[in-house]
Structures are given as C-alpha cells and as structure tokens.
C-alpha cells in the first residue's frame, strides 16, 4: 500500500470542453521524460513552493470537471496549485461566447462547429515554453520534441525513486541550461547561443517572463512590456513572442501572424490574402479571440493529418 501523500481536487469548466484535442495537443509536444499523455490523462513531475510531486489531470467521466491528482509533498500546496492548473488547461474559457463570435466569420464557422469545445492549451511555465519555441524554430514539431529530450538529459535532473518512470526528469532550470554543454546536440550554433542567452537572462532576473500569479490576468501594459523585453533578445522573433503570449501569458488575442501553417491556411482560402498586410486586415474581425482562431486553424490541419501540426 502506497504511503505517498495524494490530494485530489476538481476544476469545473463551461461545456463543451474538447478534452481529446487538448490531450492531442499536449501529447504532440510533450517533453520526453518530463511530460506524458497516456490512458486519457496528462502527467508530469512538478516542483511547487519548494516541494516536489507528480501532477495528473484527467476529465471526469460524468461531471463537467477536470480531476487533478497531486502526489508527493507538493500536495500540501494544492490550494495554491489549483489556479495554476486551471490556467494551464484553460478551464475559465467560455466556449459558447468565443465560438459565437468566431462563427460570424464564414471561414471559421465550420471549424467552430466541428470543434466547439476547443481550448488554448497553456504551459507549466513560460520558461519551458519559450525554450521549446526557440528549439522548434524552423524544424517540425516531432524534431523539436527530440531536441528538447536531449536538452533535458544534458541539463535537467533525474528524480530518484520516482513512481512514474515516464516522467522522472525535471526540466532544466534557467541557470542549469545557461551553463550546460550543448555541443553536438543537433542545433545550429546561433540557436544554441540564443537559447543560452535567454536562459542566462531569465536566471539573472534581467528578463521576467513568468506571470506573478495564475489567478491574476495580465493587463495590456504588462503584456506590451513583456513582449518588448522578450523580443529584444537575440534569436527571438515575433512568432515566438506571440506564441508565448498565447499559451503562457494567456493573451486571448495573441496572434502568431508569421506562423507558416496559419499563413498557408489563410492564403488557401483567399488568394488575395498572401501578404502579411492583407492577412492582418482579414483577421481583425476575429479580435479579441484570435488565439482561439489560431487554435481552430491549427486544429483543422491536425485533424486532416491525424497528428500535431501547427504551434
């Protein structure tokens, strides 16, 4: 009989909630050794308020809730962890209001109809997400996942006696990643330099990319300042900044305009919308929910390919 302390709580959501597609999104981008999606659940090793543990999230079979299990010492802080998990899994979204707005557009109406409960999956930390975004520049989602796995082994920490072998690694800390030997890891030298420069900036406190509280929404001024600070770093472009704003900073109107999948999806619908300026004009009516519009367009491609495409 296990003596590991475990706390279980539920996070209510407004239906519909497309749990299978949320899991598909996370599964396609799960960091090897750190995160895993299996048997209808998301799992990862965590550290929260100085305590370690394992987080498992699944959808309740009958109720409109997500069921969260926190194993280990971190379970003592389940009350402060709950808002963070709620934000990560976007349980606060109102899918009917968002879908009603986006469905006014004839391009998006059939996509909303096909996936009315689509969410914008968040991230455990902005640092993890921005590392993945940098690593994933100009490579496929699958290739980025392979590279991230190598980074974890080089700079992460293996958790001894972890009860879940598939999630027995801690993601590298900013300081550890900044100091790691990343030679021959499979990335161009300039990208390695950009990645370690980013890690050093976060480790030193020169760059702040984590939200102070998951329970407090970032205001427009804060989002603008955080975008500018991240964009100022070498190797960080507008796509990366918007992707972080969308998933980590929870800006519902974030729009990664230079994303190749999004650009191709729009151009395929209207040959007059091949240039960036025309695409910006065409997507204006989707405000203030452009992040959800992006998810619908990515999801359309993923549904066709039966895999993780876009984002």
Show which residues are catalytic. Answer: 259
- Measure the CA–CA gap between 285 and 258, rounded to whole angstroms: 18
Helices (H) and strands (E) in the chain, counts: 13, 7
One-letter-per-residue 3-state SS of 15-39: CCCCHHHHHHHHHHHCCCCCEEEEC
3-state secondary structure of 186: coil
Provide the sign of the torsion angle of the four alpha carbons 88, 92, 98, 100, taken in this order. Answer: positive
Cβ–Cβ under 8 Å, residues 27 and 8:
no
Cβ partners under 8 Å of residue 126, min gap 6 = 209, 210, 211, 244, 248, 249
Provide the CB-side half-sphere exposure for 228 (13 A, CA).
6
């Amino acid at each position: 009989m296990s003596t590991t302390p475990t706390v279980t709580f539920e996070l209510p959501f407004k239906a519909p909630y497309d749990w299978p597609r949320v899991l598909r999104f996370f599964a396609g981008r799960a960091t090897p050794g750190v995160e895993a999606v299996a048997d209808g659940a998301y799992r990862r090793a965590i550290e929260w308020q100085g305590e370690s543990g394992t987080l498992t999230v699944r959808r309740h079979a009958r109720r409109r809730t997500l069921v969260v299990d926190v194993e280990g010492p971190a379970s003592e802080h389940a009350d402060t962890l709950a808002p963070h998990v709620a934000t990560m899994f976007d349980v606060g979204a109102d899918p009917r209001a968002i879908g009603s707005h986006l469905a006014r557009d004839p391009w998006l109406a059939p996509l909303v109809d096909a996936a009315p409960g689509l969410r914008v999956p968040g991230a455990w930390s902005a640092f993890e997400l921005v590392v993945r975004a940098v690593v994933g520049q100009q490579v496929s989602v699958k290739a980025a996942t392979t590279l991230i796995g190598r980074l974890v082994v080089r700079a992460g920490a293996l958790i001894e006696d972890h009860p879940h072998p598939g999630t027995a690694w801690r993601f590298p800390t900013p300081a550890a990643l900044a100091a790691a030997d990343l030679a021959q890891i499979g990335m161009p030298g300039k990208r390695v330099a950009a990645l370690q420069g980013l890690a050093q900036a976060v480790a030193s406190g020169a760059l702040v990319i984590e939200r102070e509280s998951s329970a407090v929404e970032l205001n427009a001024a804060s989002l603008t300042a955080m975008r500018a600070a991240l964009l100022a770093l070498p190797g960080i472009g507008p796509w990366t900044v918007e992707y972080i704003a969308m998933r980590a900073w929870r800006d519902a109107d974030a729009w990664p305009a230079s994303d190749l999948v999004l650009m191709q999806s729009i151009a395929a619908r209207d040959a007059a919308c091949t240039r960036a300026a025309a695409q910006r004009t065409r997507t204006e009516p989707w405000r203030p929910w452009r992040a959800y519009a992006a998810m619908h367009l990515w999801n359309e491609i993923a549904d066709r390919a039966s895999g993780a495409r876009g984002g």
